[in-house]
Structure 1
Amino acid sequence: MKEFWNDRYSTESYVYGKEPNRFFRKQIDSLKPGQLLLPGEGEGRNAVYAAKKGWEVTAFDYSEQAKKKALDFARAEGVSIQYEIRSADDWKENKATFDAAALIFVHLPKDIFKQLIEKILVSLKSGGKLIIEGYSVAQLGHDSGGPKDPDLLYDAKHLRSLLEPTEINLFEEIETDLDEGSYHRGKAMVIRAVVTIP
């Protein structure tokens, strides 16, 4: 899979665009800037937006091409982000470090995704927020992007169970119109959540 993502990000253009995800932007704009964690950040569209808003951003992805493009983008926009080459299963933060985290279209096998959620919850301070948007299993059959393997898609019951230790502020499965580069375009079924660490 690492080769797949390096190949996808090897183009000169930003395949998911340079604008932040709309749901992420709406949520992050409502919060006071602090320390932000962005796993699976790709080419940096959300990291750069947050950094321009005053957030101190720590991002990671396992694609070297993604990191290069994200750092190039940040430099061009006059901001700084911390970006590490890591996979979801080898990243760990053992103390409450971050004021917010976001998983935006981060799709992983359910066992790895469960471990990542657990590690993120540990890494968030009390009162910290986790923002999530990803393709629902109901996305199967749509041509607007996302994995074709149900194990990589979000199941509402499963995701909600992973978030039980938190205060759930928003949880919805909805149809939305995506316009995020060439791979996220058209009507799509997504699950969105915002939760607060007690």
Structure 2
Amino acid sequence: MHTTDAVTFWDDLHASHRPAGDPQPNARLVETVTDLPPGDALDLGCGPGGDALWLARRGWRVTAVDISGVAAERLTGRARAQGLGDLVDAQRHDLGVSFPEGRFDLVTAHYFHTPFDMDRSAVLRTAARALRPGGRLLVVDHGSTAPWSWNQDPDVHHPTPREVADGLALDPAAWRTERADAPRRIATGPDGSTAEVVDHVLLVRLVDTVDPVAPVDRED
């Protein structure tokens, strides 16, 4: 599918779903990041911006990206209204084509799925290379289909955290897997309804002494 189709799809989706209140952060982000010291964060597929705003309130400097200009513009407005404009930089990117500049202490990708063609593993590898030594990549995927999901295909495959990690093909000498599991939780949909859902959670950390931009020596 063409990029213009993807932009239209996501712009229309965000234009038709305006949260009644402040967008909330994702549960897996909160439980993972609460005890971490603030630094520079990259939020891939930021959507309404609940994660970016939550991080900024905790002192993180956040680059938040989405293919939808509607989502990015709304997040910019919300951040300014809350006095967080200096901490949230919302940008529009088709991540298969362009990627934000910078080095980060945290990259978060929550429910980073699309019905359009995208090499997701390649995007996540690029994100991993943008981390500073000691930085973390948090990938949270759907492990089940919620009643309000745009994708109701009964045959959809939800990759496990291990499958996602295998797709990233990160050097085990440079990366440590800190979490790879499939917890359940009660989620609330846009219409206020609730359902039990499964999250596939992968958290990997770049070891402190390795620079992802520099080549890693391998034994033959």
Shorter-chain TM-score range:
0.7 to 0.9
* Residues 175, 188 of structure 1: 8 Å contact kept: yes
Q: In the alignment, which residue of structure 2 is the partner of 1:103?
A: 109
Structure 2: state its 5+ residue gaps: 1-5, 208-220
Q: Give the one of 147, 164, 169 matched to 1:143.
A: 147
Report how many aligned residue pairs link the two structures: 194
Task: For residue 160 of structure 1, report the CA deviation from its aligned partner.
Answer: 2.2
Structure 1: state its 5+ residue gaps: none
Quote the sequence identity (%). Answer: 19
What CA RMSD, in Å, does the superposition of the two structures yield over aligned residues?
Answer: 2.7
Deviates more, 1:30-39 or 1:148-157: 148-157
CA distance in 1, matches of 2:95, 2:35: 27
Task: For residue 15 of structure 1, report the CA deviation from its aligned partner.
Answer: 7.8
Alignment of 1:24-173 (within 5 A): 24-80=29-85, 81-92=88-99, 97-108=103-114, 112-136=119-143, 139-140=144-145, 142-145=146-149, 147-148=151-152, 153-161=158-166, 162=168, 164-165=170-171, 166-173=175-182
CA distance in 1, matches of 2:9, 2:25: 23
Q: Which digits, 9 at most, give the CA deviation of each residue in 1:142-161, with x for residues without a partner? A: 52525345678434442021
Task: For residue 88 of structure 1, report the CA deviation from its aligned partner.
Answer: 1.6
Q: In the alignment, which residue of structure 2 is the partner of 1:175?
A: 184
Q: Which digits, 9 at most, give the CA deviation of each residue in 1:91-117, with x for residues without a partner? A: 33677x101110011114786111111
Change in Cα spacing, 1:56 to 1:185, as seen in structure 2 (3 Å) is: same
Rg: which structure is higher?
2
Change in Cα spacing, 1:38 to 1:90, as seen in structure 2 (3 Å) is: same
Q: Give the one of 183, 191, 198 matched to 2:200.
A: 191
CA distance in 1, matches of 2:194, 2:21: 9
- Residue 14 of structure 1 pairs with residue 19 of structure 2: yes
CA distance in 1, matches of 2:117, 2:202: 17
Q: Which digits, 9 at most, give the CA deviation of each residue in 1:166-186, with x for residues without a partner? A: 210011023321125339941
CA distance in 1, matches of 2:136, 2:128: 9
CA distance in 1, matches of 2:152, 2:17: 26
Answer 1 or 2: which has greater helix percent. Answer: 1
- Counterpart of 1:100, as a letter, is L
TM-score (norm 2): 0.77
CA distance in 2, matches of 1:37, 1:184: 30
